[in-house]
């Protein structure tokens, strides 16, 4: 299953070295280290408040770690502003979907094409063209002129994907893109993520839908109270007693 | 279809060029004032309309343009155009200096910081002997209303063309992305700091030019008129009334409001101000996205458009 | 000794400044409305006390409660029938509409009261007490004490009364207000009414210390805004402290740099505070 990831070899696309983030005394992410290989799908799971989104924020640059370091393709990125990381090819979606509300669907995606990897496309016409392509790819071309804030839940997720893809990502960080979707829609999103990987994108998936994690991930990483408590093959990790307890402990509350 | 407003604008500009040959002196006064105010509204639109950073302190740049011109002409007997250049340089340098710290502030914080800066600038200038302290400066008097008119018209055209270019460019898309959601714009690769400062500098550039032209035309300036806080508010309201972030909204808004204001001010000035305030209140309630949006909305929905606006925004 | 006198003046004046800002901070913190007509409401409170004093012969400090009740009604109606129509609109629009209201109130006041300077001048206006060589004007002292008392009342309201809890819940989110069984439209109107009442109180006191004209609103709005930011939106006593800070800074600036700069100093402070504090923490405020 993870043949693609193994053959890539070489420098990992992303490497985290004992990354720590504290908020006024509270440790949100505690000494987490991991690597992502080119073109793999890594599932990041853990109970609410485990520090998953904080970790993604540090990779995308909206937060800086207090300790530790992050490397993208071997190059340290902690000093880089979010927009520079986007130019390197690090793209993300937000847990709370963040379309530009007053812009049309097409304009939203065009922004991605204009400013993404390597500073994006400079010609407006070309950027629009590629935005249309990505809207086709994500199945949203029928809503191309709608205002972004008029979209319903599933379409908003598609828009979020299209925006991220238009940026030409090398590494895509997906923060709970399946939350609030029914099982048919979850199936569609899984297919979409697989299609992205076929195009050579490396993907980090934060998800509560365990079924999706199982069917998508090459490897799984589990955070609990900010610490990495397990990492490895999805089937093995999801059976791990420590992991099960972390989840059961959450349910009891 | 989309080029229709531009065709109309071209015809209007060509007609406006010939106004000095038919207008009375009083009308010329009004026209020059209205054109310069429209430049201010349009320049404000570059930052406020596109990036959503509401500046209540553009009079800083207006005042610097005014004083640059006045100091060059009154203190050093330099020609008008040198004064204009000096004023623009002062304003642009100021925009670059204050841009980095204050563009990190958001929403009302930015608005009030700019308001504070314009008040501070007035106080600083009124303590500078080279700027005539708080007495002001007298510029060489010229009677050349036609020149001032054509100059103002030209400036407005250039400023509007700049805004038209912005609205169709990658730069403009970045600015609008910042307005819609600055954090998201950053993670999507928009260099938000550079974009915001560029917008501020462009805004300062046109505002300072309007200030310089106005100074020479009026031929007398003092801190109270150069850093007039009500000017800040007037340009914001004209732009917002017309439709911020659009190409023609600020122009239409400023001409309509200038006309109403002029008409009423010539009869009773208190009533003029009062009506000005009422217009703002009603406009916010019934057409919160400006005239430009209202025209489209009423065409699509008829009078129901107004009720929809209220329903959308009320508690 | 001069310095001690200046500091005393600054502190007493600052307490009143804090009261001015208190209503603005409350409305801003709870309703997320930066009320640019706040200064105009202070001005109205001043005129209310002025006319109760000169017209009906009521002592200014007894007229104060009447002005407070009147301004509460004014604020309540304004929010209920005008501002409630736009509260969900963009921040820019609330700035604009309250600016428009500022203009309307100012010029209505000018039509009704004329542009003349007015001062509320009771027989005891010039009285002082001298404490350890420092002259303390009685009226300023009374204004300071009343400011503290009203700040305490607001604190009690917010922290001890059910209405206050509902108001604070509304500040967190609108849905929470419904859990308290309160119609948010009422709650918004009541909160804005309290803000206006505080403005009225501040105006009445201001009129005994300084000139009233219809035009004082804009600069008082700006000052209140600065103090609300320096003092924070959450704690009434923080706002009073912010006011004292600005009052002292103004007095010292007037002494050392000249009176031209004393109006500007509050803005200078504001810009410094805004820039020194990291932008991120402000976004949440």
A99-103, A112-116, B51-55, C52-56: segment of lowest average pLDDT: A99-103
How far B17 CA lies from chain C's nearest CA (Å)? 34
Q: What is the CATH number of domain B4-267?
A: 1.10.3470
Residue C178 has pLDDT above 90, yes or no: no
Q: What distance in Å separates the CA atoms of residue C49 and residue C59, rounded to the nearest whole number?
A: 9
What is each CA distance from A4 to A16, A40, A191, A207, in whole angstroms?
21, 7, 17, 22
Flag if C270 and B107 touch (Cβ within 8 Å): no
Asked if B173 and A111 come within 8 Å (Cβ–Cβ), the reply is: yes
Taking CB atoms and an 8 Å cutoff, what residues of chain B touch A92? 187
By residue range, what is the domain housing residue C274?
2-284
From residue C145, give the alpha-carbon distance in Å to each of C24, C142, C202, C205, C240: 20, 5, 12, 11, 11
DSSP class of C87: T
User: Nearest by CB to C104, which of B134, B236, B281?
Assistant: B281
On whether any CB of chain A is under 8 Å from the CB of B184, the answer is yes
pTM over 0.90: no
Categorize the per-residue pLDDT at A6 as very low, low, confident or very high, splitting at 50, 70 and 90: very low
Contact between B126 and B134 under an 8 Å Cβ cutoff? The reply is yes
Provide CATH 1.10.3470 ranges for chain B: 4-267
Number of domains in chain C: 1
Tell me how crowded residue C169 is: count the other CB atoms within 10 A of its CB: 19
Kindly report the backbone phi and psi dihedral angles of residue A43, in degrees, each rounded to the nearest multiple of 5, phi listed first: -90, 130
- Give percent helix, percent strand, percent coil of chain C, each to the nearest 5: 80, 5, 20
Report the candidate in C29, C34, C285 with the shortest Cα–Cα distance to residue C167.
C29
With contact defined as 3+ CB pairs under 8 Å, the chains touching C are B
The tens digit of pLDDT for each residue in B90-126 reads 999 999 999 988 888 887 778 878 877 887 888 888 8
Residues in chain B within 8 Å Cβ distance of A100: 176-177, 180-181, 184-185
Residue with tokens 């504070």: B116
Out of B164-168, C48-52, C60-64, C269-273, pick the least confident: C269-273
* Chains in contact with chain B (at least 3 beta-carbon pairs closer than 8 A): A, C
C207-236 residues touching B, CB cutoff 8 A: 218, 222, 225-226, 229
Residues of A in contact with B188 (CB under 8 A): 83, 86, 91, 111-112, 115-116, 163, 167
Does B190 contact A111 at a Cβ distance shorter than 8 Å?
yes
CB-based contact B280 C107, cutoff 8 Å: no
Contact call for B188 and A119, based on CB within 8 A = no
Tens-place pLDDT, residues C216-241: 888 898 889 889 888 887 789 999 99
In this model, does residue A253 exceed pLDDT 50?
A: no
Most confident region among A119-133, C57-71, C252-266 by mean pLDDT? C57-71
Question: For residues B81 and B90, what is the distance between their CA atoms, to the nearest angstrom?
Answer: 14
**Residue A120: pLDDT above 90?**
no
Cα–Cα nearest to A33, from A231, A206, A201, A235: A231
CB contact under 8 A, B180 and A100: yes
C266 interaction partners in chain B (CB closer than 8 Å): 116
Quote the CA–CA distance of C99 and B163 in Å, as a whole number. 27
Look at residue C131 in the predicted model and tell me its pLDDT. 85
- Indicate the residue of A91, A124, A163 with minimum beta-carbon distance to B170: A124
Task: Quickly state the pLDDT bin for A178 (edges 50, 70, 90).
Answer: confident
Exposure string of B167-191, with b = 16+ CB inside 10 Å and e = fewer, is: beebbbbbbbbbbbbbebbbbbbbb
Q: Which residues of chain B have pLDDT under 70?
A: 1-2, 267-268
Structure tokens at B286: 């019934």
Strands A67-72 and A75-76 come out as antiparallel
Task: Provide the β-strand partners of residue A174.
Answer: A205
For chain A, list the domains and their CATH numbers.
Answer: 3-89+169-252 (3.40.50.300), 100-168 (no CATH)
Joined together, the tokens standing for residue A77 give: 């990125």
Residue A131: is its pLDDT beyond 50? yes
pLDDT in tens, A13-44: 999 999 999 887 788 899 999 999 999 999 99
Q: Which of C33, C37, C41, C40 is nearest to C85 (CA)?
A: C33
Q: Are A100 and B176 an interchain contact pair (Cβ–Cβ within 8 Å)?
A: yes
Question: Which chains does chain A touch, 3 or more C-beta pairs < 8 A?
Answer: B
Q: How many Å apart are CA C63 and CA C204, to the nearest integer?
A: 8
Question: Considering only CB atoms, which chain B residues are within 8 Å of C218?
Answer: 229
Please say whether the beta carbons of A185 and A154 come within 8 A.
Answer: yes
Task: Assign residue C109 the CATH number of its domain.
Answer: 1.10.3470
Q: How far is C-alpha C213 from the chain's CA centre?
A: 17
**Does the beta-carbon distance from B274 to C107 stay under 8 Å?**
yes
């Amino acid at each position: 299953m993870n043949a693609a990831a193994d053959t890539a070899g070489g420098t990992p696309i992303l490497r985290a070295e004992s990354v720590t983030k504290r908020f006024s005394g509270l440790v949100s992410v505690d000494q987490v280290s991991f690597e992502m290989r080119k073109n793999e799908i890594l599932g990041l799971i853990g109970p609410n408040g485990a520090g998953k989104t904080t970790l993604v924020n540090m990779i995308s640059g909206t937060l800086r770690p207090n300790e530790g370091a992050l490397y993208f393709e071997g190059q340290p990125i902690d000093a880089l502003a979010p927009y520079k990381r986007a130019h390197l090819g690090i793209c993300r979606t937000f847990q709370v979907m963040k379309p530009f509300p007053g812009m049309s669907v097409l304009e939203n995606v065009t922004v991605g094409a204009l400013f993404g990897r390597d500073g994006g496309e400079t010609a407006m016409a070309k950027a629009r063209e590629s935005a249309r392509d990505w809207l086709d790819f994500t199945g949203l071309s029928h809503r191309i002129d709608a205002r972004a804030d008029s979209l319903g839940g599933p379409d908003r997720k598609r828009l979020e994907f299209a925006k991220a893809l238009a940026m030409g990502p090398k590494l895509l960080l997906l923060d709970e893109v399946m939350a609030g979707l029914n099982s048919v829609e979850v199936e569609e999103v899984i297919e979409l993520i697989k299609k992205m990987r076929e195009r050579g994108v490396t993907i980090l998936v934060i998800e509560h839908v365990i079924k999706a994690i199982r069917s998508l991930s090459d490897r799984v990483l589990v955070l609990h109270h900010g610490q990495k408590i397990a990492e490895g093959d999805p089937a093995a990790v999801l059976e791990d007693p420590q992991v099960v307890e972390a989840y059961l402990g959450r349910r009891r509350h | 279809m989309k080029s229709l407003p531009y065709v109309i604008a071209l015809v209007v500009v060509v007609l406006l060029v010939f106004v000095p040959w038919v207008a009375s002196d009083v009308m010329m006064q009004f026209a020059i004032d209205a054109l310069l105010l429209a430049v201010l509204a349009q320049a404000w639109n570059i930052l406020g309309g596109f990036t959503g950073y509401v500046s209540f302190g553009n009079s800083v740049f207006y005042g610097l343009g005014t004083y640059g011109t006045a100091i060059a002409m009154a203190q050093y007997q330099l020609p008008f155009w040198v004064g204009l250049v000096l004023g623009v340089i002062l304003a642009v340098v100021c925009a670059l200096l204050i841009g980095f710290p204050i563009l990190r502030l958001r929403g009302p914080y930015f608005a009030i910081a700019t308001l504070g800066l314009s008040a501070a600038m007035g106080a600083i200038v009124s303590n500078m002997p080279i700027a005539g302290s708080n007495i002001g400066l007298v510029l060489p008097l010229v009677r050349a209303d036609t020149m001032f008119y054509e100059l103002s018209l030209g400036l407005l055209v250039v400023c509007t063309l700049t805004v038209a270019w912005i609205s169709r460019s990658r730069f403009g898309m970045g600015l609008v992305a910042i307005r819609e959601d600055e954090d998201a714009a950053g993670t999507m690769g928009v260099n938000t700091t550079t974009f915001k400062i560029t917008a501020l500098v462009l805004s300062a550039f046109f505002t300072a030019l309007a200030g310089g032209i106005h100074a020479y035309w009026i031929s007398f300036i003092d801190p109270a008129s150069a850093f007039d806080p009500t000017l800040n508010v007037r340009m914001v309201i004209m732009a917002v009334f017309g439709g911020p972030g659009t190409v023609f909204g600020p122009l239409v808004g400023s001409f309509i409001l200038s006309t109403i204001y002029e008409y009423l001010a010539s009869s009773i000035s208190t009533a003029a101000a009062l009506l000005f305030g009422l217009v703002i209140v009603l406009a916010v309630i019934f057409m919160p996205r400006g005239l430009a949006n209202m025209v489209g909305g009423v065409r699509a929905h008829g009078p129901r458009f107004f009720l929809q606006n209220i329903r959308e925004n009320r508690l | 000794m001069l310095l001690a006198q200046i500091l005393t003046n600054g502190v007493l004046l600052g307490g009143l400044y804090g009261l001015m800002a208190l209503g603005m901070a409350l409305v801003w913190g709870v309703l997320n409305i930066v009320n640019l007509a706040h200064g105009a409401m202070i001005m109205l409170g001043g005129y209310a006390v002025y006319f109760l004093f000169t017209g009906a012969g009521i002592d200014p400090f007894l007229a104060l409660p009447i002005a407070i009740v009147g301004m509460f009604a004014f604020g309540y109606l304004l929010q209920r029938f005008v501002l409630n129509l736009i509260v969900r609109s963009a921040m820019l629009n609330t700035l604009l509409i309250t600016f428009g209201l500022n203009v309307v109130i100012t010029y209505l006041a000018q039509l009704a009261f004329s542009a003349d300077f007015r001062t509320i001048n009771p027989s005891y206006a010039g009285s002082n007490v001298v404490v350890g060589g420092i002259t303390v004007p009685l009226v300023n002292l009374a204004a300071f004490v009343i400011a503290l008392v009203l700040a305490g009342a607001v604190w009690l309201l917010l922290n001890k009364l059910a209405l206050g809890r509902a108001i604070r819940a509304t500040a967190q989110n609108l849905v929470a207000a419904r859990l308290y069984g309160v119609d948010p439209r009422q709650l918004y109107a009541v909160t804005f009414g309290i803000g206006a009442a505080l403005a009225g109180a501040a105006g009445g006191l201001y009129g005994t210390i300084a000139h009233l004209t219809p035009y004082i609103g804009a600069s008082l709005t700006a000052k209140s805004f600065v103090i609300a930011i320096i003092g924070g939106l959450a704690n009434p006593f923080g706002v009073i402290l912010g006011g004292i800070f600005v009052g002292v800074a103004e007095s010292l600036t007037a002494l050392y740099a000249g009176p031209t700069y004393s109006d500007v100093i509050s803005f200078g402070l504001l810009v410094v505070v805004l820039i020194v504090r990291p932008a991120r923490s402000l976004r949440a405020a």
